[in-house]
Structure formats: C-alpha cells, structure tokens
C-alpha cells in the first residue's frame, strides 16, 4: 500500500472516475478542482461501446442502463439529407456493449455522487517539484500552501496545468475548426445518430433521451473568425442555412444564444503519459478530434489502467507500466481521430465526392474506426498484462 496520497488535479469526468477507482481500491488520494463548484457545459455526450464497458467495470452499469439513451444505427448523409451510408451497431464487434448517449450534466452527476465532500474546490497548482521519493506541490490557497504527494495525476482537461508544469512538450495543436454544441427538444422515437457532411463542414444530430437531441456542428475556420461572434444562432444560420434534412429542422428550433456552446478543436500535439511522478489521463494527455467519440472512453480506459497498476505495483513501476500499456492504443486513437478530421476539413467538393463514394462502399467513417477499436478488449488485456509482469 502506498503511504503517501496521490493528488488528482481536476474534478471532471477523468478526475471523478479516477477518484472512484482509488476509493474502491483503497488507494489514498486528494482531489482538487480550480472552480468553486462542480459544473458541466450542459451539452450532450455520446458514449461508444468501450466507454460503456469501462463504466460497467468502474461500477456504473446500472446507472447507465437507467439514465442513458441507447442508439442502434449510425447514418451518414450529405448536406441535402440524402443517406450516403449507414451501419447497425448491433453487429459484431460493434455489439461488444451498448452505444448510448445522455445529457452531459446527467453523466457528471452520476460520476460525482458521493464524492463532493472529498473535493477541494477553488484550488489549483502553482508549482510542481519532483523530489527523490515524491512530488512537492505548491497550491494557490493559504490553507494548503505546499504538500508532498506520492504522485500527481493531471485529469484537468485539454488545458491541463499539470501538463504545462511537468511536461516539456505541452503545446496544443489548433485544428482550425470552430465548433458549436447544444441540446434541444425534438421527437426521438424514429431518430438515430445522423452525421451530415459537406466540404469543410459537419452537422450532427444525436438523440440523448426521450425527445431530446444533442447537436454538434463544425466548420473549417483557420482564422478563428466564427468563434469571435456572440450571435451563435446567426453564425449557425450563415454556415449551415443551406442544409436540408434533420439539420434544417434543428436549425429552425435553435435555443437562445446563451445555451449554444461555442468552442475550438485543439489536440495535444503528441500523446503524453508520464514525466517522473506526474502522469496524465484523458484529454490532459491526448486530447484529439471527436471523430471516434473517444474522449470519455479513452479517459475511462486510462483511469482503470492507471488505478489497477497502482494497486499492484510501486508508484514508479506503475507509471512506467501505464505508459507502456496505453501508448499503442492511444496513439492509434489520436491518429485515427485527427487524421480523417484533417482530411475532411482540408478537402474540396470534388475530393469530398470521392470520400463519400468510399463511405458507400465501406460504411460511415466512425464505424470503420470502431470496428478496429472494438476488436480488442484492453480491460481483459490489462488483467493478463498485470499477471505476466507480477511474476
């Protein structure tokens, strides 16, 4: 048993899941959050089968069954709404578990239930100093100005403070894409996730519950002009007003501007895992485009891997094994997410027609990736890996 606490920085999806795993495995920890309270951005979240499998492992299977909306098919269409390609999610290997979606604040509520009292709010890291047997952390608050921990885990998202302080190569790559996310009320009985492609643009409508839809839209915007406007409804109408099908319907029922969340797609230039006794999980270490919807899934797999290794090995050994075990899969996920995204946003109409024809032959882009991803089970492989290396 590790005698020193491990510090978790960030009380988002990755941090809360890691705290739950540490509690389950009796690993001592502290968890800090720079904000004054737990919040979520209010949009939806889609969880592919490997994310659901990881949530079952952590102990949230029943909560997902009760609160999430299952989808059974993926549809890709052109900007007019004509179907280009579709695929069932009920066939092997896609049926390794359910594909579900729910409101992000509901997912956050599930993860943080019972953990609120453990979180030190309004607390951020000012300095990280690696010592011979731990990490000396200086905080911004007066009550806990400096403490030593066995390790520091950055679960603090794409703008990770831990990554900035403990890793020399912490730069982000701007993918040149402005995004918007929101939810709206609309009948979902006959709706399956639909992705509508145009050169340099994408619109997605994804059911997340009874009569509730999560919408995502992005456009290639290398000069970052679109995100400077606060009139999100006007920008969406300008960028996607020519779309038909489900996009046209969703644009007609847009919520008010304050409920539309703008953003920018950025990725970690190269996946990062460990620096001394500092480690990264989730977007802090390998943020990438949402092409394969692996943000939460990859974070949860990180969390399970790191926590189980820390239970079985010394901190130094566990961190080395963490990078060794996760690097191949994470590198494939980031390359397979950012690569197609860059291809689509940099293409013109003539090249897009070729891509669309390939999708007619091979199926939706994300489904092609999921078939490869779900052909292996990292949770089963982890058990075998630990057994082999404990000998």
Per residue in 229-271, pLDDT (tens digit) is 899 999 999 999 999 999 999 999 999 999 999 999 999 999 9
Of 293, 14, 292, 30, nearest in space to 156 by CA = 14
DSSP 111-123: HHTTTGGGEE-S-
In the block, residue with structure tokens 């098919």 = 73
Mark out the alpha helices in the chain (DSSP H runs).
Answer: 13-24, 49-58, 61-67, 104-112, 161-166, 232-240, 245-252, 283-286, 295-312, 315-345, 349-362, 365-373, 378-390
Q: How far is CA 262 from CA 174, 219, 238, in A?
A: 15, 12, 15
Classify 253 as helix, strand or coil: coil
pLDDT of 348 reads 76
Q: How many other C-beta atoms can be found within 10 angstroms of the C-beta atom of residue 387?
A: 10
pLDDT of 86 reads 96
Residues forming beta bridges with residue 201, ordered by sequence position: 198, 219
Token pair of 86 as six digits: 């579709």
Q: Tell me if 31 sits within 8 A of 15, measured CB to CB.
A: yes
Of 121, 117, 137, nearest in space to 7 by CA = 137
Per residue in 99-108, pLDDT (tens digit) is 999 999 999 9
Q: How far is CA 362 from CA 48, 85, 91, 95, 356, in A?
A: 19, 8, 15, 18, 10
pLDDT of 143 reads 66
pLDDT of 389 reads 95
**Exposed, middle or buried by CB within 10 Å (0-12, 13-18, 19+), for 231?**
exposed
Token pair of 49 as six digits: 């089968």
DSSP 136-197: EEEESSSTTSEEEESEEEE-S-TT-HHHHHH-S---EEEEEEEEEEEEEE---TT---EEEE
CATH number of 6-172+267-390: 3.50.50.60
Would you list the domain boundaries of the chain? 6-172+267-390
**Largest separation between any pair of C-alpha atoms in the chain:** 62
**Exposed, middle or buried by CB within 10 Å (0-12, 13-18, 19+), for 258?**
exposed
Per-residue pLDDT tens listing for the chain (391 residues):
567 999 999 999 999 999 999 999 999 999 999 998 877 666 999 999 999 999 999 999 999 999 999 999 999 999 999 999 999 999 999 999 999 999 999 999 999 988 999 999 999 999 999 998 899 999 987 666 889 999 999 999 999 999 999 999 888 999 999 999 999 999 999 999 999 998 899 999 999 999 999 999 999 999 988 878 899 999 999 999 999 999 999 999 999 999 999 999 999 999 999 999 999 999 999 999 999 999 999 999 999 999 999 999 999 999 999 999 999 999 999 999 998 788 777 777 777 788 888 888 889 999 999 999 999 999 999 999 999 998 6
């Amino acid at each position: 048993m590790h005698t020193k606490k491990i510090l978790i920085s960030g009380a988002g999806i990755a941090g809360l899941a890691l705290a739950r795993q540490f509690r389950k495995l009796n690993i001592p920890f502290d968890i800090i959050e720079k904000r004054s309270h737990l919040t979520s951005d209010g949009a939806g979240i889609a969880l592919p089968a490997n994310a659901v499998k990881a949530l079952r492992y952590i102990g949230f299977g029943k909560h997902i069954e009760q609160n999430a909306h299952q989808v059974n098919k993926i549809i890709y269409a052109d900007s007019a709404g004509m179907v280009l390609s579709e695929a069932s999610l009920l066939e092997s290997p896609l049926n390794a578990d359910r594909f579900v979606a729910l409101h992000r604040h509901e997912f956050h509520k599930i993860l943080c239930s019972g953990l609120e009292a453990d979180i030190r709010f309004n607390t951020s890291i000012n300095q990280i100093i690696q010592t011979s047997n731990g990490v000396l952390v200086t905080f911004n608050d007066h009550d806990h100005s400096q403490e030593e921990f066995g390790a520091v885990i950055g679960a603090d998202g794409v703008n990770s403070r831990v990554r900035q302080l403990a890793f020399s190569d912490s730069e982000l790559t701007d993918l040149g894409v402005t995004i918007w996310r929101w939810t709206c009320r609309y009948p979902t009985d006959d709706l399956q996730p639909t992705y509508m492609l145009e050169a340099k643009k994408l619109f997605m409508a994804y059911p997340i519950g009874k009569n509730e839809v999560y919408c995502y839209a992005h456009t290639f915007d290398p000069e970052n002009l679109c995100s400077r406007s606060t009139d999100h409804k006007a920008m969406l109408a300008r960028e996607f007003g020519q779309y038909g099908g489900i996009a046209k319907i969703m644009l007609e029922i847009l919520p008010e501007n304050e409920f539309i969340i703008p953003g920018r797609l950025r990725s970690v230039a190269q996946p990062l895992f460990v620096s001394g006794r500092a480690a990264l999980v989730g977007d802090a270490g390998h943020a990438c485009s949402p092409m394969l919807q692996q943000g939460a899934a990859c974070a949860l797999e990180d969390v399970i891997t790191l926590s189980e290794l820390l239970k079985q090995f010394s901190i130094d050994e566990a961190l080395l094994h963490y990078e060794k075990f996760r690097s191949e899969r994470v590198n494939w996920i980031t390359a397979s997410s950012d690569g197609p995204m860059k291809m689509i946003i940099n293409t013109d109409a003539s090249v897009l027609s070729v891509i669309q024809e390939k999708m007619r032959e091979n199926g939706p882009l994300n489904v092609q990736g999921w078939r490869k991803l779900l052909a292996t089970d990292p949770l089963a492989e982890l058990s075998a890996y630990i057994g082999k290396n404990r000998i």
